[in-house]
Amino acid sequence: MASENLSAVLKRKGEICLENCEIPNPSSHQVLLAIHTVGICGSDVHFWKSGRLGNFVVTGPLVLGHESSGTVVKVGSKVKHLKEGDRVAIEPGIPCRKCEFCVEGRYNLCPEEKFAATPPDDGTLCRYYCHEADFCYKLPNNVSLEEGALLEPLSVAVHACRRASVTAGMSVLICGAGPIGLVSFLTCKAMGVTKICITDISESRLDFAKKMGADCRVCVRDMDIKVALKEINSKLGGSADVTLECSGAESSIRLGAHVTKSGGVLMLIGIGAPEIKFPILETCLREVDIKGILRYANCYPSALELVASGAVDLKPLITHRFTLEEVHKAFETSYSGADGAVKVLIRCVAK
């Protein structure tokens, strides 16, 4: 084990520094992990560029990163299901386990939850990180550590599809062909959905979605909502039973309100402006259920099974890989989308 814990620290808005931090010691129920891979999430970019995401504001130094995998290097005295050398995916939120939401199993709504790289809690973009052992999931031999890191965004899609009650035989519209839109597409396919349409304002993103198997696509850039509605309905053979809105853009949410079938579900996944102009009567008078999600709960085992079984292949999403020392280039690439960037991974293990 190395003697230094190199970490990517957001010092203030727009400034990421590499610093050597102290290597933590695990408590009795924790494991010390040598972090292997961390994916850059849109929330990391928001904190870097804006210093905040919604109600979460960066007020002091913050280690970024939460889409992570690693190898166990030290085990707490009361940990029984993991041992040194185990490769694990890390579910990055730790709830209080005692409040009404935790007791109900909806621990993602726990008001005391500590979530990696969400102020004030440090994230995983470092060499070593301590985490609660029961939120670490051992990876089978056929699942790589890179895929283990991507179980985090996949769990978002699993949670969204569960809350929207997505099942085979439905028609689904996915707004946004970014990483969350693409894993939502893969999850819907794994659930047996065959009528799926993806929209985006970027032709290159839609081209990438085509490579992932999305045959039904609509570029809605500068498109009138009535024209978009007609185009989508034509491709799906009618209105969407479920719309998974993954962009957070106001125009996209408004489109979802119109295109979702009466009695259907508009699931808001993407994070955008805190307030928008929305056609509320369009949804109310047609009994369209508007739902949102906060991360996920009880989804990591299912996400892992989807990957381990071969039902979902995450590898094509990975377009760029960087070392921890290249963190600035990694974030710039993720932010700009340069060279067709979709999912940017950072390898944290020492050379």
Q: Which of 108, 119, 197, 123 is CA-nearest to residue 158?
A: 108
pLDDT score recorded for residue 335:
96
Residue 246 has what pLDDT? 97
Distance CA 239, CA 282 (A): 14
Q: Please, where are the H alpha helices in 110-193?
A: 145-149, 151-163, 179-190
Alpha helices by DSSP H, 89-150: 100-103, 145-149
Q: Is 331 exposed, middle or buried (0-12, 13-18, 19+ CB in 10 A)?
A: buried
DSSP 315: G
Beta-carbon neighbour count of residue 139 at 10 Å? 21
Q: Taking the mean position of all CA atoms in its chain, how far away is CA 222?
A: 27
Which pLDDT tens digits describe the chain residue by residue (351 residues)?
A: 667 899 999 999 999 999 999 999 999 999 999 999 999 999 999 999 999 988 889 999 999 999 999 999 999 999 999 999 999 999 999 999 999 999 999 999 999 999 999 999 999 999 999 999 999 999 999 999 999 999 999 999 999 999 999 999 999 999 999 999 999 999 999 999 999 999 999 999 999 999 999 999 999 999 999 999 999 999 999 999 999 999 999 999 999 999 999 999 999 999 888 899 999 999 999 999 999 999 999 999 999 999 999 999 999 999 999 999 999 999 999 999 989 999 999 999 987
Instruction: Show the CA angle centred on residue 71, arms to residues 335 and 155, nearest 5°.
Output: 50
pLDDT at 243: 98
Per the listing, tokens 């979802």 go with 256
Peptide bond into 120 cis (omega under 30): yes
Tell me the C-alpha distance between 146 and 340, whole Å: 19
Residue 243, SS3 per DSSP: strand
